[in-house]
Structure 1
Amino acid sequence: MTDTTAGRFTGSTVVVTGAGSGIGRATAVRIAREGGRVVATDVVADRLDDLRTELDGHDLETVVGDVTAQETIDAVLVAAGDRVDGLANVAGIMDRFLPPTEVDDATWERVFSVNLTGPMRLTRAVLPLMIAAGKGSVVNVASEAALRGSTAGVAYTSSKHAVVGFTRSVAFFHGPQGIRANAVAPGAVATNIEAPMGSEYAAGRIGPISQLIVPAAASADQLAAAITWLLSDGSANVNGVVLPSDGGWSVV
């Protein structure tokens, strides 16, 4: 794990989605170990049980549920209580790298539901609490796919471009009310997110490019370091940015 900052989140309540594994889990663990109260949600109950064991003695609430479902959002708000200082929208899914000619409606709709609609609904739900407090930070996980068209399939790429637009819109509309909204754009990361190649054509297009320019995979802890910095007061003058955390991929 990268170095933590003791007490950085003391007194803060932070909601983390996709907290059962990968980047979400690393983010939740870091916030808790830095003194924060974490409301962690994931679709897999066993993952949250493991997280609870790891963070025994820390301030942690867990909510099992699909981030796209209103009942999950309602449960998160109940668990958070009367304040939310930060929100990390980490949960996301891939699209089997399907190109526009091969993408099916079900894949398109599910990817957009998890990657964009869920974060929008949860952000919309916590904003009134943040606005009432005059302060809050939202961090959305975008992707290198938000910066180019050659990284994933059409559904994932489009959804992550939309995440950037959503992030900037929140920053524009609610910045004057004390709200900051930023995005992190990971490159390759060593997580358990499922990313099968479901298209022979896509493999032929994306594969050669990836072999040439994609840096080595980062760790989930490295991404958590960027996310927690944007959540913290250390980035108090940062609003509406897309921060690549991709080992330099975005400059190629």
Structure 2
Amino acid sequence: MKKFLGYLLTPIATGAFLLVLVIFQPIQWVCFRFLGYAAHKRAVDLLNLCLVSTVYLLGNSVTFTNKQDLPLGRPIIFLANHQGLLDIPPLIWYLRKYHAKFISKIELTKGIPSISYNLKHGGGANIDRKDPRQSITELAKLATRMKENRWSTVIFPEGTRSTDGTVRTFQSAGIATLLKKCPEALLVPIAIRDSWKMIQYGNFPLNTFTPMYWEVLPPIEPTGRPVDEVVLEAENMIRAKLG
């Protein structure tokens, strides 16, 4: 029944999603060009709130839980498991006060209304996976911006999204690069549950009446510890929460 309803509701939800992207493209442009970073960020925050809201058109729900008392004046590296593109809008909206930036494939900086513009101008890192030197350079620049502006970053250490919710082994190289340039950053794991179920049939039909959950877990102090060790600790915390 849920899949059948997906055939009916997916065009409505997808249409609303695309409409939001088109509407916010010129809004972002005006904010960035004439009003500066703060206005552009508010536009991006509101954009992602609207994108999150479109999932409710499918009867799905988003529950984001953050019971941690995280510092606002310290850079944070949020580490999350990755289940689909829907993972990102709730992270941007609910972590907005931490100025969370993303590490994205450079291919996404072209051709997608609103999303591509934000990736180019929002302060994150756009990496070319075929060019390791460029990737390291971009991550180092992002870490410098984190240090200078007290921004945070969301990274998906699995390297690719899981299609069935299974947590893959976390890679530590990107986090090591960030910590090298921004050693004062705090590591904070985030467990994402069941967002993969919304796209378990692909982009059409989208699944319906599916509850999805994001939970911020206790922070990890990386100072004085091997990067591989703290990344493994974050991975194990996420696995335990989802297990």
Common fold, TM-score beyond 0.5?
no
TM-score range, shorter chain: 0.3 to 0.5
Q: TM-score, structure 1 length as denominator?
A: 0.40
As a proportion of its length, which structure holds more helix? 2
Higher relative contact order, chain-length normalized (CA < 8 Å, sep 6+): 2
Q: Normalising by structure 2, report the TM-score.
A: 0.41
